[in-house]
């Protein structure tokens, strides 16, 4: 079931000569209390060291808590687009995505690749499972 469509914007640029994929995902939760935010953060961090395709994973919490703010930002890095695709299909990610589906009000994502000159390219709409 697709419950939220988002556009992924690919921003291509050079970072230290290394190519990698970074996916930034912003999450706004239905229940925006500190306990729910902390639990969701821990669920996201539970993917760390369980999915071999993740080069790095960070989960940051918003400090403003404003109406227009998102509650959590996930920053995931991959060696290649193939690793990113494998991450999306990994059973641990699939289970985490099911949890996120239940607590999510809205999301936005930016996925970019390093090692190229600056340019932007719009990808077709996806679902929150694309995080």
What pLDDT is recorded for position 116? 54
Domain range 5-130, CATH class = alpha beta
Tell whether the model's pLDDT for residue 121 goes beyond 90: no
Please compute the mean of the pLDDT values over residues 55-80 and round it to a whole number. Answer: 96
The per-residue pLDDT for 7 is: 36
pLDDT, position 122: 52
Residues 2-61: tens digit of each pLDDT: 333 333 334 333 334 467 999 999 999 999 999 999 999 999 999 999 999 999 999 999
Confidence at 126, pLDDT banded by 50, 70, 90: low
Is the C-alpha dihedral spanning 67, 63, 56, 47 positive or negative?
negative
Would you state the pLDDT for residue 21? 96
Phi-psi region of 100 (alpha: psi -120 to 50; beta: other; left: phi over 0): alpha
pLDDT at 4: 36
């Amino acid at each position: 079931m697709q419950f939220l469509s988002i556009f992924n914007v690919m921003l291509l640029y050079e970072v230290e000569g290394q190519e990698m994929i970074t996916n930034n995902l912003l999450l706004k939760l239905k229940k925006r209390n500190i306990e729910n935010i902390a639990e969701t953060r821990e669920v996201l961090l539970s993917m760390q060291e369980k999915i071999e395709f993740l080069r790095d994973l960070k989960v940051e919490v918003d400090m403003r808590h404003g109406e227009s703010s998102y509650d959590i930002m996930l920053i995931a890095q991959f060696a290649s687009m193939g690793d990113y695709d494998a991450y999306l299909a990994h059973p641990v990610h699939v289970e985490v995505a099911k949890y996120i589906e239940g607590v999510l009000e809205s999301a936005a994502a930016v996925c970019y690749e390093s090692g190229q000159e600056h340019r932007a390219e719009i990808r077709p709409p996806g679902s929150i499972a694309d995080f």
